[in-house]
Structure 1
Amino acid sequence: MHMAAVMEPVGTLDPPPTRGRRGVKRRRRFESTPYVLVIPTILVIVLTLGVPLYKIVMLAFQHQSKRQLYTNQPGDWVGFQNFSDVLSDKEFWSSVERTFIITILLVVFSMLFALGLALLLNLVSKWLRTSLMVLLLFVWAIPQIVAVELYAWFTDPNFGVVNYLLTKLGFSGFKTHDWFVNQTQGWIVIMALVIWQALPFLTVTLSAGMSMVPKELGEAARMDGANPIQVFRTVTYPTIKPLLVIATSLSVIWDFQLFGQAFVIRQNKPEPMYQVLGIFSYTEAFGHSDYGLGAAISILTILAMLGMMVFYVRQMLRIGDGDI
């Protein structure tokens, strides 16, 4: 009797509620909170980027004098005349060619140097790696204008450190050598400055990616007889490939916008052979007071940058989907 009382169920359990269409709809209802939270950011972007971009687009279709600009008066509407003048200008196409060549060289050399430094950092001891990381971050923290002035002092014809050291080494022809008379030498100085500033970020990023490579895979490859190049190609490279794609894409975008280094190191008056697209646009707008023409060049530069941004976003989406 007692066993029957124990075995007797106290109550009948109801079956779990089924998920009907109404329940599914409740779970999938529209959530407005994320959109509300992102509204302030959108407003800031519109005010800081959208409004100036709208002004530049309108200015590209006008001819506006300095008086009209300063008194906030509308310019004379000229339609596509500014774009026609820009596209028929040989100096514009020279600056476009120069921009692409310099960008390619900067990206290639900066990525190669950063990759080499990252590989070396992962081979040295921990305390030396930490010291080098601190040094790289110190270089990264130097403001751009300060770095440009340092390089201008290094290459000064009369008091430059580079000329002094070369003269001490027996190269008497460099006693008062001007590095910017020759276009190739001048661009080497500017590129060295840009690469020097880009190395900290690229090196730290790639080094962090290499630290995620399982050591067991490298040891197994070496036990199978693989040399260092084969270990990098078969083990390290596949792991850091997404980081390489991101770092390379960012380098292309940053180097394509080269302005401050070449502009400041030439005392804010760069010669035509040192004018990339950004400097050429600035010179036409503020040097020649042709603001509509400068705005048209800026629009063409933005379109080129959008093409690079599309490539960068596509690579990011592919990385997110695991295709790379």
Structure 2
Amino acid sequence: MSSTVLRPAPPGAAPPPRATRATTPARLLPWVLLAPSLAVLVVVTGYPLVRMLWLSVHEYERAQLLGVPAPFVGLDNYAATLTDERFWAVTARSFVFMLVCVVATITAGTLVALLLMRLGRVMRLVLSVALLLAWAMPPLAAMLVWGWIFDTRYGVVNHLLTSVTGESWMGHSWLISPLSFFAVAALVIVWGAIPFVAFTLYAGFTQVPREVLEAAQLDGADGRQRFLDVQVPYVRTIYVVLIVLSMIWDLKVFTQIFVLQGIGGVTSETSTLGVYIYEMGMAQGHYGAASAIAVIFTVLMLAISAYYVRATVKEEQL
């Protein structure tokens, strides 16, 4: 039996090779590959943001489009916005509308996701195709269809109500009243958002181990308890993401509100933040004030997103 004896290296011998760090070209390679995407991101996102900040501190009106220099006004546009009663009315209206849409979207999306899990293969395919068609339809095209459905004289809704109730609903306007206007707008927005929420939750629910659900059922848990105590905790992170995204999307909604206003809504009583910014800038020509409102709106979006980012970081650290 032989053994190996470790002897010290003789004097003057070269030290053993060490693991060297990556060379400079190797370290720069990821940045070189990312450079085109970063350049596009800076141009597409960075420049409009910087331009918006610049406009917000200048009194930029229609005259500046003809080459007249825009005077610097500092924070005057922000002060005027924050002291404007209509801005706060529009903001409150937008948040209330957002909360209603988010609750309705998450609730309906959850029910549809659970329905997808219960259906057979054929009916699940049919429902999935219907959801995809609703999701793929462009918002403007969808609004044209919904505008015809709620049309005052020839709308399907008024015709059905007339047939069911026996009273004449023909000529009834669903958009003249702010309450019914936002009811129609919420219906359209929730209809378009349900497919994304339903498919995302369905993918999450299918990852819940069947053994856990069966064990809960053997322990006497009914369907509601299995859903709240087993399935929801497994997809809690997905719910957080969906709620935050829905809040952002519903706060910055523009197309649906703008088109409904063109069909018959009262602009002064139905504008949300996205439409209000458009009115101040494109309609009235107050680009500096509109930019200040847009900056405040961006800060609100970042504040909402901060919770999601913080929750995501905590999940990764666990």
Provide the TM-score with structure 1 as the length reference: 0.89
Offset of residue 273 of structure 1: 1.6
Offset of residue 318 of structure 1: 2.6
Q: Distance in 1 between matches of 2:2 and 2:297?
A: 83
Q: Distance in 2 between matches of 1:315 and 1:219?
A: 30
| Structure 2 unaligned regions, length at least 5 | 8-14
Which residue of structure 2 lines up, in the alignment, with residue 113 of structure 1? 108
Which residue of structure 2 lines up, in the alignment, with residue 305 of structure 1? 301
Offset of residue 33 of structure 1: 1.9
Q: Distance in 1 between matches of 2:269 and 2:302?
A: 26
Which residue of structure 2 lines up, in the alignment, with residue 266 of structure 1? 261
Which residue of structure 2 lines up, in the alignment, with residue 279 of structure 1? 275
Q: Distance in 1 between matches of 2:301 and 2:17?
A: 48
Structure 1 vs Structure 2 CA RMSD: 2.4
Bigger shift: residues 295-304 or 261-270: 261-270
1:155 to 126, 142, 150: 150
Which residue of structure 1 lines up, in the alignment, with residue 186 of structure 2? 191
Secondary structure in structure 1 of the residue aligned to 2:151 = coil
Bigger shift: residues 163-172 or 27-36: 27-36
Q: Cα distance 1:248–1:59, how it changes in 2: closer, same or farther (>3 A)? A: same
Structure 1 residue 316 and structure 2 residue 308: aligned? no
Offset of residue 189 of structure 1: 0.2
1:17-63 Cα offsets, whole Å, 9 max, x none, are xxx99735526987222222112111111111111111111111111
Contact 1:103/1:256 (8 A) holds in 2:
yes
* Alignment-mate amino acid for residue 256 of structure 2: Q
Bigger shift: residues 191-200 or 162-171: 162-171
| Structure 1 unaligned regions, length at least 5 | 1-6
* Alignment-mate amino acid for residue 75 of structure 1: A
Q: Cα distance 1:43–1:27, how it changes in 2: closer, same or farther (>3 A)? A: closer
Q: Cα distance 1:28–1:90, how it changes in 2: closer, same or farther (>3 A)? A: same
Which residue of structure 2 lines up, in the alignment, with residue 75 of structure 1? 70
Offset of residue 197 of structure 1: 0.4
1:145 to 140, 148, 154: 140
Secondary structure in structure 2 of the residue aligned to 1:74 = coil
* Alignment-mate amino acid for residue 179 of structure 2: T
1:122-156 Cα offsets, whole Å, 9 max, x none, are 11112211221111111111001011111111111
Offset of residue 233 of structure 1: 1.8
Q: Distance in 2 between matches of 1:289 and 1:24?
A: 64
Secondary structure in structure 1 of the residue aligned to 2:257 = helix
Structure 1 residue 288 and structure 2 residue 274: aligned? no
1:66 to 48, 54, 62: 62
Q: Distance in 2 between matches of 1:40 and 1:21?
A: 41
Q: Distance in 1 between matches of 2:310 and 2:2?
A: 65
Question: For 1:15-54, what aligned pairs fall within 5 Å after superposition?
Answer: 23-26=18-21, 31-54=27-50
2:125 to 121, 127, 130: 130
Secondary structure in structure 1 of the residue aligned to 2:179 = helix
* Alignment-mate amino acid for residue 129 of structure 1: R
Q: Distance in 1 between matches of 2:101 and 2:213?
A: 31
1:267-299 Cα offsets, whole Å, 9 max, x none, are 188512211111111111122111111111111
Q: Distance in 1 between matches of 2:203 and 2:193?
A: 16
Offset of residue 13 of structure 1: 11
Q: Cα distance 1:125–1:277, how it changes in 2: closer, same or farther (>3 A)? A: same
Secondary structure in structure 2 of the residue aligned to 1:62 = coil
Offset of residue 210 of structure 1: 0.6
1:256 to 233, 251, 255: 251
Secondary structure in structure 2 of the residue aligned to 1:76 = coil
Q: Cα distance 1:23–1:77, how it changes in 2: closer, same or farther (>3 A)? A: same
Bigger shift: residues 142-151 or 282-291: 282-291
Secondary structure in structure 1 of the residue aligned to 2:262 = coil
Contact 2:56/2:291 (8 A) holds in 1:
yes
Structure 1 residue 178 and structure 2 residue 173: aligned? yes
Bigger shift: residues 166-175 or 104-113: 166-175
2:206 to 181, 202, 211: 211
Q: Distance in 2 between matches of 1:182 and 1:21?
A: 84
Offset of residue 85 of structure 1: 1.2
Contact 1:262/1:270 (8 A) holds in 2:
no
Contact 1:263/1:270 (8 A) holds in 2:
no
Which residue of structure 2 lines up, in the alignment, with residue 4 of structure 1? none
Contact 2:176/2:266 (8 A) holds in 1:
no
Q: Cα distance 1:134–1:148, how it changes in 2: closer, same or farther (>3 A)? A: same
Percent of paired sites with the same residue: 31
Offset of residue 183 of structure 1: 1.0
Contact 1:246/1:315 (8 A) holds in 2:
no
